Amino acid sequence: MAQRSKKLSVRQPNGDDVDLIAIVHDEKAKLLTLLFHRTSPDAADPAYRKVIEDRISLRQTTKERDEEQAVSAHLVIDTRSFEAGAYNAALEEMPGLSLSVVKQIIAGALTDYKYAYEDKKGNEQETYSTFKALGQKSENLTDALKKKGSINYLTLTRTKIPDAPDSEGIAEPTLERLRYKIVGDPTSKGWREGLAKFVTKVREQEWDDVSLDLSLDDDRHRTVKLEREAEAAEIMFVRAEQVVVSRDLTPCTMEVVPELVEAAQKLMAKG
C-alpha cells in the first residue's frame, strides 16, 4: 500500500479526497500501475429499488461511523519510453478524477526524490523529476460537436469567495459553483474566441476550475476541465474507449485488478 501523506492525497473543491492507494511494478511486463481512490465523505447513502410485477421494494444502505463512499481507478504506465522522458499511459475513467489531479499527486511525491547533477559550469547541483501530462489528444471540441455532440453547461468553481456574506462567526463558505447555460454556436470561431476571453477573465477573479459538460455522439457524457496551460488553444480531450473484462468488478478495490491492467496494455499497444 502506498504511504498516505499530504503529497499523495488531494482535497477536491467539493470536499472529495483523491488518494494514491497502491503502486505495483511489473518488471517483466514493463508496466507500472498506480491505484487511486476517490472518497466522498458527505455523499448520501444510496437506496436500491426492485420492481416485481406491480410491487416495489426499497432497500436502504447505511454507512457506518467514519465510513466514506469510495470508487477506484487505475493508472497504467508503460515503463519503456517512446522518446526521451516520455511514456505511454492509460487512465481508467472515473467520475471526479481528472488528469490534473493525478498530475498533482505524482508531482508532489516526486519532489521527495532528489538527485545530483552537474550543471554547465561543472558544479554539482540538486534537483528532482517533474511530471507533465501530454496526453494523446484524440479529439477536439469542434470535431466532437460536429459528430452530433453538444455542450450542456459551462461550470465555474472556486474556494476563495471574496463577496460571500459575513456570517458573523457562525459559519464559513467552502465552495462556490456557478453554472452557465450555453447559447450561440460552439462550433463557430467567434464562440471559441469568446470562450477564451471569458476564461481569462474568470481566472483573474480566482475561479479554481472551469469545465464543460459534454454529451458525445456515442451516448456518453464527459466533463472536460480546461487546463490553465491550454486555455488559449483549441480545447482538446481524450475520448475514453470501453473495454470488456471476463468478470464483474466492484466499484472500489484495494488491490490492482490484473484484467484492467491487461486491457490498458492492449490499448497502449494500439498506439
Place of cell 468553481: 157
Give tens-digit pLDDT for 246-257: 888 888 999 999
Please give the Cα distance from 208 to 108 (Å, whole number).
19
Q: What is the mean pLDDT of residues 63-82?
A: 87
Residues contacting residue 125 through CB under 8 Å, at least 6 positions apart: 116, 117, 118, 119
Structural domain tally of the chain? 2
* pLDDT at 232 (0 to 100): 46
111 and 33 in a common domain: yes
86 shares its domain with 189: no
Q: What is the mean pLDDT of residues 44-50?
A: 83
Secondary structure percentages of the chain, helix, strand, coil, to 5: 20, 35, 45
Give 73's contacts (C-beta < 8 A, 6+ positions apart).
Answer: 35, 36, 38, 91, 92, 93, 94, 97
Question: pLDDT over 90 for what percent of the chain?
Answer: 19
Number of Cβ within a 10 Å radius of residue 218 = 11
Cell numbers 500500500 label which residue?
1
Tell the residue number behind the cell numbers 480531450, with chain if given: 237
Domain of residue 199 covers 137-237
> C-alpha grid cell for residue 228?
490553465
Average pLDDT of the segment spanning 176-192? 88
Query: Are 126 and 221 part of one and the same domain?
Result: no
| Domain match, 246 and 231 both | no
Residues 145 and 131 in one domain: no
DSSP codes joined into one string, 144-190: HHHTT-EEEEEEEEES--TTPPP-TTS-----EEEEEE--S-TTSHH
73 and 128 fall within a common domain: yes
Buried-state track 197-209, b at ≥16 Cβ within 10 A, e below 16:
eebeebeeeebeb
pTM for the structure as a whole: 0.67
Looking at the fold, whether 25 and 100 belong to one and the same domain comes out as: yes
Same domain flag for 163 and 113:
no
Output the pLDDT for position 233: 52
CB 31 within 8 A of CB 52: no
Neighbours of 242 (CB within 10 A): 8
246 and 114 housed in the same domain: yes
Please say if the pLDDT value at position 93 is more than 70: yes
d(CA 225, CA 100): 9
Asked whether 211 and 222 are in contact (CB, 8 A), the reply is no
Tell me what the mean pLDDT of segment 179-187 comes to.
89
DSSP 8-state assignment for residue 139: E
Confidence of residue 235 (pLDDT cuts 50, 70, 90): low
Residues 6+ apart with CB under 8 A from 190: 184
Mean of the per-residue pLDDT values of the chain: 82
132 shares its domain with 176 = no
Instruction: Label residue 79 by pLDDT band (50, 70, 90).
Output: very high
- In terms of domains, do 9 and 111 share one? yes
Residue 160 sits in the same domain as residue 192:
yes
Give residue 136's pLDDT band: very low, low, confident or very high (50, 70, 90). low
